[in-house]
Structure formats: C-alpha cells, structure tokens
C-alpha cells in the first residue's frame, strides 16, 4: 500500500484491530513509513523541530510554546541533569506534578 509515494506496511492483525477502534470510521487513515516508526522519540522530535521550528508544539490555557522553544527547554533540562549525574552512567527518572486546569 502507498500514500503520496511513500511505502507503507500492513499492521499485524491485533494492531489493525486497535487502529479500527481508535479512529473515526469516515476519517482518512494516515500511515507512517516504516523508517519513521523505527526512529527514536528524540530523533523524531528533533526532526519536527527542524521542519516546523515556529509551529505550535504545546498549548496551555495561558501559555504556548513553539517547537524551537520546547526544544530549548528540553535541552536545558537535559544539560542540568548531565551536570548533576556525576561520572557514572545511570538511568534517570523525572517526576512531575500534574497541573490541573479549572
């Protein structure tokens, strides 16, 4: 199957069943090429930053960030974590409080 000259692949039956339940039956299905699905989250995000630097990435009630702004904030957090981790390489977990909009 192809879409816009991009080679797509068929989903396994269990994933196709999930897709069928999660999307509106009359809405178009937009598949992703296999290479995009095999990218890391970091690589995909960096690609979005380079393709759409000024596009809205996050929006809250009173604040919004473009992909460039969000990337700058994420890089700042990463740099702070790297400075605090010491000489060893170890997993890091981040815990955030959830803000509730009223």
User: Residues 54-100: pLDDT tens digits?
Assistant: 999 998 888 999 999 999 999 998 898 888 877 777 788 888 887 65
One domain for residues 32 and 47: no
In a domain, 72, yes or no: yes
| Residue 97 belongs to some domain of the structure | no
- Same domain? 31 vs 50: no
Same domain as 32, residue 61: no
Residues 82 and 52 in one domain: yes
- Residues 55, 67 contacting (CB under 8 angstroms): yes
- Helix residue ranges, H only, the chain: 13-22, 34-37, 41-51, 67-84
Q: pTM (2 decimals)?
A: 0.59
Domain coverage including residue 65: 40-86
Domain count, the chain: 2
Q: How many CB atoms lie within 10 A of CB 96?
A: 5
62 with 81, same domain?
yes
The residue behind tokens 């409080």 is 97
């Amino acid at each position: 199957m192809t879409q816009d000259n991009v080679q797509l692949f068929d989903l396994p039956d269990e994933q196709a069943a999930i897709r069928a339940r999660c999307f509106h039956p009359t809405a178009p299905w937009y598949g992703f090429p296999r290479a995009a699905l095999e990218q890391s989250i970091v690589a995909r995000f960096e690609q979005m930053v380079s393709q759409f630097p000024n596009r809205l990435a996050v929006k809250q009630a009173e604040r919004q960030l473009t992909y460039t702004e969000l990337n700058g904030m994420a890089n700042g957090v990463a740099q702070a974590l790297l400075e605090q981790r010491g000489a060893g390489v170890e997993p890091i977990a981040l815990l955030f409080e959830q803000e509730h909009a009223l």
